Homo-oligomer: A and B are copies of this chain.
Amino acid sequence: MFVIADNIQITRYRVEMAVKERNPEPIKQLAAQCREAGAQAIDINTGPLSRQGEEIMQFMVEAVQEACDLPVCLDTVNAKAMEAGLRAAKGPRPIINGISMQPEKLEGILPLAQNYDADLICFLLKPDGHVPKDADSRLALAVELTGILDEAGISRDRVVFDPLAVPLMWDDGGRQAVEVVETVRLLPEVLGFDARVMVGLSNLTTGRPPGPQRQLVEQTYLAMLGGAGLTWVLMNIFNPDTIATARAVGVLGSGGIFSWHF
């Protein structure tokens, strides 16, 4: 399983301060720690409301790249900030996080996916930005989005679908958790190609204080998703137990000669 660290978010105090002071050191340190902890890519979340989006994204991408040579996952709804990130990305193929059927995404982000060589995370969100209610709606959105991406000339091997795990604390959180597993399972079959699928794991336990129960739910759900065919996960990389689960799922799901070294 390919693991992306979600730890570099501007909403975290340490990151916010580093950005405010344009001091790359805390971000470099965090990126190095993410890599050390097992990250295979680093999400850079500049937040939705950032006014100097372009400059901030460029600053953050450069800081991360000074510390490590992992792909950067550019996490912003701001198309200009996204493009600044794509320009600044000098290492392995970056990741656009992301696109959806929302008109502003198709207008702002899709052209960037056409112009830059980047992987592309596709949220299975409805055009109005709402989360679909079940697996069928998610699958229908994936089919529609695949048509749009095909037409736009985006190669299918650059695409990663995100069926959107929602917080369990939502009224329908429990049902949605099941629908997301089902979506992960059915996506490659419904789309007719070996589609990659990602889930943002931290979303699941939003609003829940840290502790063994939250940890257990996170690990259990990750394994359930892994058993259904999940290939990527965006998660808090500083949770070694969940990383261990991601590795164990990778080994148990591979079907190869079993090795206890993971």
Among B175, B208, B245, B249, contact of A256 (Cβ-Cβ < 8 Å): B175
**Contact call B219/A223, Cβ cutoff below 8 A:** yes
A219 touches B219 (CB 8 A): yes
Contact mask for chain A residues 226-250; partner B; CB cutoff 8 A; 1 contact, 0 none: 1110000000000000001100110
Number of copies: 2
Alpha-carbon separation in the docked complex, A169 to B258 (Å)? 7
Given that A168-B258, A173-B258, A178-B255 are known contacts, is A244 also in contact with B224, CB under 8 Å in the complex? no
Q: Which 3 residue pairs of A and B lie closest in terms of their CB atoms, listed nearest first?
A: A224-B227, A223-B223, A174-B258
**Residues on B with beta carbons closer than 8 Å to the beta carbon of A245:** 216, 219-220
Q: Nearest B residue to A172 by beta-carbon distance?
A: B257
A145 to chain B, nearest CB (A): 25
Cross-interface CB contact of A217 among B185, B208, B217, B248, cutoff 8 Å: B248
Q: Which residues in chain A, 89-143, are within 8 Å of chain B measured between CB atoms?
A: none
B-side contacts of A249, CB under 8 Å: 220, 224
The secondary structure that dominates the A interface is: helix
**Are A252 and B224 within 8 A (Cβ)?**
yes
Whether a CB of chain B sits under 8 angstroms from the CB of A225 is yes
A174 and B228 contacting across the interface, CB-CB below 8 Å? no
Task: Report A70 CB to chain B, min CB distance, Å.
Answer: 25
A257 near B226 with CB under 8 A, answer: no
Chain A contact residues (Cβ within 8 angstroms of B): what range? 35 or more
Contact B177 A252 (CB under 8 A): yes
Known contacts A174-B255, A255-B174, A258-B174; is-contact A223 B227 (Cβ 8 Å)? yes
Using A177-B252, A224-B252 as known contacts, list a sample of 14 further A-B pairs with CB atoms less than 8 Å apart, ordered by residue number in A. A174-B256, A177-B255, A178-B252, A178-B255, A213-B260, A216-B248, A217-B252, A217-B260, A219-B223, A221-B223, A222-B223, A223-B224, A223-B227, A224-B226
Chain B nearest CB from A56 CB (Å) reads 36
Whether A220 contacts B208 by the Cβ 8 Å rule is no
Beta-carbon contact of A253 and B224 below 8 Å: yes
Alpha-carbon separation in the docked complex, A256 to B174 (Å)? 5
Q: Which residues of chain B are near A178, meaning CB under 8 Å?
A: 252-255
Say yes or no: is A67 at the interface (Cβ < 8 Å to chain B).
Answer: no
Whether B227 and A248, one on each chain, are in contact in the complex, defined by CB atoms closer than 8 angstroms, is no
Partner of A175, one of B221, B222, B248, B255: B255
Cβ-based interface call for A79 (8 A): no
